[in-house]
Structure 1
Amino acid sequence: MPQRVRDVSLPARVARLEEDVAQLRRTGWERDELPLYPTAFTALAFSDATAFTTLWETTFAPRTAGLSLGLTAVGDQVAGVNTGGSWQVLLAGAVVWSGTVPPSFTVQYASTTLDLLPYRGVSEVLLQVQTRRTSGANTGGRFGGGGSIGLSPRFARIL
């Protein structure tokens, strides 16, 4: 059986090393899904509270540089009155991303990449997604306290 002689020339070794580094960089783009768990028993969590209420949360160990997060939010309509609100995402109790839900009874999609570098030395980080109602009806609606804000994660990918 013929034996293959390895090329030991410097240009060949450098080329092999460059290919190995490029392959390692490509594998770094693989993404892992991070599960978020509802704090209520409904699939799309709704809240009619006027103070921020946690609708989704998870605890994870940040071992990467970023978390790509996408949310879906929708207002409500009670007796012809549209409900608006706001939402916020907290990492370890600090607000890292926030937005509003206009009182227009339309679905909105928001996405961002959160920087996890400040949390890399921590063994566990609590991620919370909160919402609150800021305008709309004060009575009636899904829970009787007025219009509700619906919020659900579309994706949470560890980069």
Structure 2
Amino acid sequence: MPKVLQPPDLLRRIAVLEEQLDALRRSGWERDELPLFPTSLHGLVYEDNTSFTTYWESIFIPRTGTLALGMVMIGDVVSAVNTGGEWQVKLNDTTVVASGSVPATFSYAFPTATIPLTSYLNAGQLKVQLQCRRTSGATTGGRYGGGGSIGASPTYARLL
């Protein structure tokens, strides 16, 4: 006797596909890394400016609700004078969404920031910048002659 194939249940197949797609979206959102690119004119992301200077930046299309950012900062020491400063994360060249200080101790600091992106989800693109400036320390000498420098680098940037 010939076997009769049952026609596939279209609604069941769509439900299974939607479930798999939702699982893929959730797992991708937890692991999406955002690349940040250096902007220093010196080739090293280590500056001695007293006004905020962009060290790292990226332009991306926001598709998730949060950006988790980890950083490493270090001040300089010039002629036994330690240099400290400030850092900030800026969106679209206008909005400061996180900030902190770089201690004048010539030791590493590892600040983190969790930045909500829900108000930017409808934007076509979003620019994120990591900026620093020197606020204390030597005013002459140092790596580039303008005094002590502040070094900064992202350790991770994850879209959650």
Pick the TM interval, shorter chain: 0.7 to 0.9
Structure 1's consecutive aligned runs of 4 or more residues displaced over 3 angstroms after TM superposition are 20-27, 41-44
Letter aligned with residue 107 of structure 1: Y
- Aligned partner of 2:88 in structure 1 is 88
Pick closer, same or farther for the CA change 1:110–1:29 going to 2, 3 Å: farther
- Aligned partner of 1:112 in structure 2 is 113
- The alignment yields a C-alpha RMSD, in angstroms, of 2.5
Structure 1: tracts of 5 or more residues without a match: 6-12
Shift of 1:75: 0.4
Normalised by the size of structure 1, how large is the TM-score? 0.82
- Aligned partner of 2:152 in structure 1 is 151
Pick closer, same or farther for the CA change 1:145–1:42 going to 2, 3 Å: closer
Shift of 1:37: 0.7
Normalised by the size of structure 2, how large is the TM-score? 0.82
Contact 1:44–1:151, Cα closer than 8 Å, also in 2: no
Aligned residue-pair number: 150
> 1:29-108 alignment to 2 at 5 Å?
29-30=27-28, 31-40=31-40, 44-92=44-92, 93-108=94-109
Structure 2: tracts of 5 or more residues without a match: 7-11
> 1:101-140 alignment to 2 at 5 Å?
101-140=102-141
Letter aligned with residue 132 of structure 2: T
The residue matched to 2:131 in structure 1 has which SS?
strand
Contact 2:68–2:114, Cα closer than 8 Å, also in 1: yes
Letter aligned with residue 26 of structure 2: G
Give the whole-Å Cα distance in 2 for the aligned partners of 1:40 and 1:63. 28
Letter aligned with residue 155 of structure 1: Y
Letter aligned with residue 110 of structure 1: P
1:69-123 CA distances to partner (integer Å, 9 max, x unpaired)?
1111000000100000000000122000001001000001111221010101110
